[in-house]
Amino acid sequence: MFTITPVMKKIRTITLTFLMSLFSILLWVFSPNEGRALCCVGMLFSTVGDLILMDTDGLEKWKKLPWFYIGGGAFAVTHLLYFLGYFQLIQKENLPFFSFGFSIALSVYVLFLFLLLILFRRAGTSAVQRGLILAYDFMISLASFAIYSYAFSKGGWYLLAAFGSLSFFLSDLLIILRIVLGRTRLDPLVWVLYPIGQVLILFFA
């Protein structure tokens, strides 16, 4: 059976994250707008998070890894900038924020919030871990509120932006599951869902 070595994982991480950053920069240079500029900066923060966290293969020991907090903080900034970027697009195009798309994103957030609370109870997660994970979960969902709202208001191909947001959300959820439960069979899906989500979010900004 083919096995991905730690060195191969690092090469994969570095290659994909730099390609996504290059993609975001090219989009901003050749088709600039205010929202895309913020998303481009958000992708750069995401690259910082990727490079910091690529050596934290044992996420189940995350409390002992101070760099984990810095990497997680970089991703939190990414989600905040994605929210601001898409919110600017909503305002610029005079679209409603509290739209059908927003209600779907809110429903997804509430659903996964309940799932996390059930998971915490079964896994015996500490209060500190719960607080940090729930705070990060909110930051992920904050971006999805604006992206879903914009995507469903525009319709058509823009709905792929919502799919990208969901894909990014699911990749982060898998990482959260790994933190709480340890390794799972779904771990390889992270680096499938994550780049798909990033590319779609960046392209439709």
Instruction: Tell me which residue has tokens 């792929």.
Output: 160
Tell if the pTM clears 0.85, that is, is over it.
Answer: yes
- Is 172 exposed, middle or buried (CB count within 10 Å of its CB: 0-12, 13-18, 19+)? buried
Question: Contact, 42 vs 16, CB < 8 A?
Answer: no
What is the model's pLDDT at position 60?
A: 44
CA distance readout (Å), 127 to 33, 120, 123, 132: 41, 9, 12, 9
Give the rounded distance of the alpha carbon of 77 from its chain centre.
10
Q: How far apart are CA 184 and CA 99, in angstroms?
A: 36
Q: Tens digit of pLDDT per residue, the chain (205 long)?
A: 456 666 777 788 889 999 999 999 999 999 999 899 999 999 999 999 888 876 545 444 544 556 677 888 899 999 999 999 999 999 999 999 999 999 999 999 999 899 888 888 887 777 877 888 888 889 989 999 999 999 999 999 999 999 999 999 999 888 877 777 766 677 778 889 999 999 999 999 9
- Structure tokens, 136: 């990060």
What is the model's pLDDT at position 14?
A: 86
